[in-house]
Amino acid sequence: MLHMRPLPSIDNFTHILGAIARMKHYPIVISLIKRIESSGISPDVYTLNILINCFCHLNRVDLGFSVLATILKLGYHPDSITLNALCKIGKTDMAIGLLRKLEEGDFELKLEVYDSIIDSLCKARLVTEALNLLIEMMSKGIQPDVISYNSLIRGLCNFGRWREATTLLNAMAQRKIMPSVRTFNILVDALCKEGMLIEAKKVFDKMIQRALNMMVERGYSPDVVSYNTLINGFCKNKKINKAMNLFNEMSNKGVTPNFVTYNTFIGGFCRVERHKAALELFHKMQACGQLPNPQTYTILLDGLSKNGQVVEAIKVFHEMEDKTLGNDIVIYSILINGLCNVGNFTIVRELFYSLPTKGLQPNVRTYTIMLKGLCKEGLLEEASEIFEKMDGSDCSPDDRIYNTIIQGLLQHNETSKAMKYLEMMVDKGFSTNATVTSMLFDLLSSNQVDKNIQEFLQKLV
């Protein structure tokens, strides 16, 4: 571009520089800006903001401030982008320092500048400081907008400061600032993260209803994200009927459920052991044109397996395979776990030993499931063989693997073999879990082991 005649405008260069900066090639951007300047093209405030951003990301805040001095010298007004460059990399204190200098310099500061810093303070968990800045801003005649309030409400909710969040929502109403869908989503998300605790629900019920009423009155309605957030909270707390009421409300208000809605409900039904309802909804979503994604199948298979519905799980698994969605070690691990729980080791072996032919390698969870299942069935030789196979693969045994096989061997009175694995475990720097430790104490106090084992255990525990 520098060889083009006439030379492109600075806007064209800034557009490209911004794209390169987003790719995190900060040194290249700095070098290119120097070349642009040497070609006689003067950077504008946007180019200089990009330069500040690059210097800050490279921890050269000193050079960033020198560019800021250039901005001021050229008569440009620093804006929210300038401050964002500092805020985005966690230099909130420096952004505030810049704000103070701008205030001293009689610059006209806009709301966007304060919004950037308030949001950054809240993300840095400095909510009290953000509230103080809000008061300071308002004392200067700059009135907050919905963006200011959303940042503060989210920050307060993250700290469980419900009353202050309620006060801010009331202040919005008094100032006739309409809560956005995002405001509603922040409130609902906070409520659900609290596990629908009675205390939190009492505080938020009125607040949420007030926000909802204001939105509806002005022609806004909660979107699918709002409903999904609340449905997820109900499902996690096994309040599936309340979740279904919301689902029906969605349909009545013309909000179309998406795959997140269906996935949440399928998991919710499985959580309350209503696997038939989960399967019905699984088929309904497809009838409505919403295709299941790999996560849908994972949730359904996990739920069916945990509810002992292995036959149904295998049917769903084969459906996945037909759609070429089943080539995932997580899916196989879920199915193997379900089959182990019902003792169907014929299919377990078939699935486990076929993994390499499908281009899949068992992970630690897969091996843990296999060892636990085999030990439970008393198939200790096969469990030992799988352990040896794992030890010789790229997937090295961790503390869970050692604890699993040691526990299985002790449960079947294979003390000598258990001690072999225990010694290997200790040599690798791993520790026994609470269950195995308790079993070892019982073994020591029983006086039913030979002297060598007894001495080894005494050193260990």
Closest CA to 117 of 145, 91, 143, 156: 91
220 and 173 share one domain: yes
Residue 371 lies in a domain: yes
CATH number, domain of 324, equals 1.25.40.10
Q: Are residues 374 and 332 in the same domain?
A: no
DSSP 449: S
In a domain, residue 286? The reply is: yes
**Number of domains composing the chain:** 3
| Residue at which a domain ends, from 337, 360, 383 | 360
- Least Cα distance to 257 among 219, 228, 283 occurs for 228
- Do 353 and 267 have their domain in common? yes
CA dist 326 and 452 (Å) reads 49
pLDDT in tens, 295-352: 888 899 888 888 888 888 888 888 887 776 667 788 888 888 888 888 888 888 888 8
Is residue 129 assigned to a domain?
no
* Dist CA 276 CA 269 (whole Å): 8
Kindly state whether residue 127 falls inside one of the protein's structural domains: no
Q: Are residues 288 and 311 in the same domain?
A: yes
Q: Are 274 and 222 within one domain?
A: no
Separation CA 326–CA 81 (nearest Å): 46
Q: Which residues contact 242 (CB under 8 A, 6 or more apart)?
A: 234
Residue 338 shares a structural domain with residue 381 = no
Task: Tell me the pLDDT band of 196, cut-offs 50, 70 and 90.
Answer: very low
Compute the residue count for the chain: 461
pLDDT tens digits, one per residue of 383-434: 999 888 887 777 888 889 999 999 999 899 888 888 888 888 888 888 888 8
Count of beta carbons in the 10 Å neighbourhood of residue 361:
12
Report d(CA 289, CA 304) in Å as an integer: 23
Are 459 and 372 members of one domain?
Answer: yes
Rounded distance, CA 8 to CA 15, Å? 11
Q: Among 25-34, 144-153, 186-195, whose mean pLDDT is lowest? A: 186-195
Q: Coil, helix or strand for 344?
A: coil
Closest listed residue to residue 360, CA positions, set 327, 392, 391: 327
Give the residue from 313, 341, 360 where a domain finishes.
360
Q: Are residues 339 and 404 in the same domain?
A: no
Residue at 50 is within a domain? no
Mean residue pLDDT of the chain comes to 80
Q: Which of 360, 389, 422 is the last residue of a domain?
A: 360
Read off the pTM.
0.55
156 & 229 share domain: yes
Q: Under 8 Å CB-to-CB from 449, ≥6 apart: which residues?
A: 415, 443, 457
* 61 assigned to some structural domain: no
Q: Is residue 192 part of a domain?
A: yes
Are 157 and 200 in a shared domain?
yes
Per the CB < 8 A criterion, the answer to whether 349 and 374 are in contact is no
DSSP 354-394: HTGGGT----HHHHHHHHHHHHHTT-HHHHHHHHHHHHTSS
Average the pLDDT over 146-174 and give the result: 84
State the chain's maximal CA–CA distance in angstroms. 94
In a domain, 301, yes or no: yes
pLDDT digits (tens, 9 = 90+) for 14-67: 888 888 888 888 888 888 888 888 777 778 878 888 888 788 778 776 787 777
Integer Cα distance of 223 and 184 in angstroms: 10
Task: Answer left, alpha or beta for residue 432, where phi above 0 means left and psi between -120 and 50 means alpha.
Answer: beta
CB pairs under 8 A, 24+ apart, for 441-446?
443/410, 443/415
Is residue 300 located within the same domain as residue 206? no
Contact 150, 180 (CB under 8 A): yes
Domain housing 279: 258-360
Clarify whether residues 355 and 372 are in a common domain: no
CA 260 to CA 262: how far, in whole Å?
Answer: 6
